[in-house]
Amino acid sequence: MNKKQYIEKLEKQNGYCECLQLQKLYLLRRKTEELADKCDFFQREANFENPRESDLQFLEDYKRTAKNLRKSAEIYYTRLADEVERGNVQLILNEQGRQRKISIKTMAELRKSIVTANCAYCEQQIDILD
């Protein structure tokens, strides 16, 4: 299995848990995912090469949504890092079918590695950080 296939397999394991400590993180993640879906829609539907005057509002909405997505993703990943620092989320290095817990510092030193963020209480995979 190549890296892309392995990441796709891991993505299917992303989910939400009922642990109270992570509910605010999940709200941020849902908001970010919704904005990403809206941006995907705008990107598919927008005519960037020859916009008509009637498309200008659509393009302005796309621009605003893209800015909101960037901000939301930044807030989400900041909160995720905070939850790692609080001990509510564990970082798991995935290499060659093996998994081991790592620190934020170790993650920053690794290049081209696949790291997942998991709930520290029930081990539900939350996100992939690759």
pLDDT tens figures, 10-44: 899 999 999 999 999 999 999 999 999 999 999 99
Between CA 129 and CA 117 the distance in angstroms is 7
Q: pLDDT tens for residues 48-93?
A: 888 888 788 899 999 999 999 999 999 999 999 999 999 999 999 9
pTM, rounded to two decimals: 0.85
CB of 15 closer than 8 Å to CB of 124: yes
Q: Residue ranges per domain, the chain? A: 3-129
Pairing type for strands 125-129 and 89-95 reads unpaired
How much is the pLDDT for 112? 79
